[in-house]
Amino acid sequence: MKSVLHRGPLAKLGDLSETRYWVYLLLFPSLILLLLVVAYPTLYGFVISVREMRLTRPGLNGWVGTKHYVAMLSDRVFWISLKNTAIWVTAAIALEVAMGFVAAVALNRNVPGTKLFGVLILLPYFLPNVVAGHMWALLLDPRLGVINDILVKVRILSSYKAWFADPATAMAATIVVEAWHGFPFFALLFLAGLKGIPEDLYKAAAVDGAGPIRQFRLITVPMLRTVITAAVILRVISLVNSPDLLLVLTGGGPGNATQVLSLYAFQTAYREFNFGYAGALAVVMFVILMVFATLYIRLTRVSKD
């Protein structure tokens, strides 16, 4: 009995660590953090999507039910944004995958100097979107852009072109900028994937008589399939979500030529201060992205088996 009386708080904690409540106690701090920064804002977003919340007309604030969602159906800009999002994301990722693949295959050769190139090739990815955006805005500037200058000098263009101001070229120009910015992400993941392919497979294929093209098609591509799929899904999620590059380059214009969902929601909230409608747009994006998130989780589970 005496020993029990002398037990301090640490000993009590020790006792607690033997019980099944211990695990919850350890999870508690990070759980609180997640609730605060993830769960609460998400739920709040859902809540304001069924409410009116205009900073410019506070008198209207209150419950409106599905009003915003109904309005969305007949909102021309919403449908353009949806279409543009699909085009922008698909085209940018297609380019990024292609460029990333080429870069990864090139870097995977054991040629001296590839380590340096490996770092150099990552530089675009290190740049914040906003910085990259401003840099490209300058490069493509209609009055003093270097690229215009070069294109005119090699006589591809007869005069300087305002790439981002022309509805015919704005989308393509932003896609190229995004591809430049995002391809190192794929290069990095593909390179890791390539390094994970056992050398013996290529040796076996060489002995079996498969040339480089067949080796690529029958070994490299299938072995990278999981990595490619996972990287594409992750990139879809991040591209659908980030309006910053377009915000800097075009602001969604000219007209709505480069308007995408994330940028539309952003502008609705912070330019028109119509948080209710912006919330509804965000919920739609949430649903779309949930599809990709589910795919990703499925995929990672499958590849674990």
Binding footprint of other proteins on the chain (CB under 8 A): 198, 200-201, 203-210, 214, 218-219, 222-223
Least distance between other proteins and beta carbon 192 (Å) = 17
Least distance between other proteins and beta carbon 229 (Å) = 14
Q: Which is nearer to other proteins, 18 or 305 (CB)?
A: 305
Q: Which is nearer to other proteins, 110 or 159 (CB)?
A: 110
3-state secondary structure of 209: coil
302 to each of 111, 189, 195, 288, 298, how far by Cα in Å? 35, 19, 21, 22, 6
Residue 76's CB: how many other CB atoms inside 10 A?
A: 8
Q: Which is nearer to other proteins, 139 or 201 (CB)?
A: 201
Distance CA 50, CA 46 (A): 7
Distance CA 2, CA 93 (A): 71
Closest by CA to 183, choosing from 286, 95, 280, is 95
Structure-token pair, residue 260: 């995408």
Q: Which is nearer to other proteins, 26 or 204 (CB)?
A: 204
Asked whether the beta carbons of 265 and 288 are under 8 A apart, the reply is no
Q: Which is nearer to other proteins, 59 or 209 (CB)?
A: 209
Least distance between other proteins and beta carbon 225 (Å) = 8
Q: Which is nearer to other proteins, 18 or 199 (CB)?
A: 199
Least distance between other proteins and beta carbon 111 (Å) = 14
Torsion of CA 185, 186, 187, 191, to 10 degrees: 110
3-state secondary structure of 22: helix
The H or E element containing residue 52 is strand 51-52
Least distance between other proteins and beta carbon 159 (Å) = 53
Least distance between other proteins and beta carbon 42 (Å) = 38
